[in-house]
Every structure is written in structure tokens, then in C-alpha cells.
Amino acid sequence: MAKKILVADDNPGIRKALRGILEAQEDYDLCAEAENGEEAIALSIKHSPDPIILDLEMPVTSGIDAAREIKQALPSVPIIHFTQYGDIMTGPAPMKLPVDRVVPKSNGGSLIGHIRSLISA
């Protein structure tokens, strides 16, 4: 059975690219797409995806706040922050994020590997 993945990013081009990457994988199904953090929370609760790919900065509710709410409702669902701010975990004042992994958008080619490692963990 294919694993369900939710993608949340306010950039339609990024969502389209992620959709293409995921559709090329026979063992993954894109169950929903959100364009802001509030939609990501609601769709996560509705679909119970296997992992969630969540942008850090989104309108209405930020990716950080959305991740906190999602983790409260679905604590076992892995969340990947897929962000242009990939250095936030290594900067001078690293943030404590409510996510399982941070993947820089500049390293998008590694995303499927990160998804696989979190789902099989």
C-alpha cells in the first residue's frame, strides 16, 4: 500500500515540483496539498498522512506553528521542514523546531531519501 504524503508550501511552483517528484515514486501518493499553515493543519488531521512536507514560512499560520499543532494532534507523523532557510539548524542560535528533519530546498534531490528514512524508522 502506498504511503500518503501531504505537501504544504505557499509557492505553487514548489508544490508542482514536489507533486512531480512524488508522482514518479510508485510507493507514495500525494494525499493533499496546502498553501498555508492553517490548511496544512486541517488537511493533516483529515488525511493522517504518513509524512508531511512543510514549508517554514507560510501565510496565515507559519510552518513552525503549524508543525507544533500537527505534532500535538498527530505526534507519530514525521514532519520535514522543506525550506530555503536550511541553515537554521546550524546557525549561531539554532532553533528548537517541532519537526523530525530540516531539508534545504537547495538540496531537494535528497528529499525522497529523507522521506524513506523517516517512514522506515
Q: 58-93 burial, b for 16+ CB within 10 Å, e for fewer? A: beebbbbbbbbbbbeebeebbbbbbbebbebeeeee
Mean pLDDT of the 30-42 span:
97
Domain ranges for the chain: 3-120
The confidence band for 85, taking pLDDT boundaries of 50, 70 and 90, is low
Architecture of domain 3-120: 3-Layer(aba) Sandwich (3.40)
| More confident of the two residues 119 and 13 | 13
Reduced to 3 states, what is the DSSP secondary structure of residue 74?
coil
Name the pTM for this structure.
0.88
| More confident of the two residues 52 and 23 | 52
**Alpha-carbon Rg for the chain in angstroms:** 13
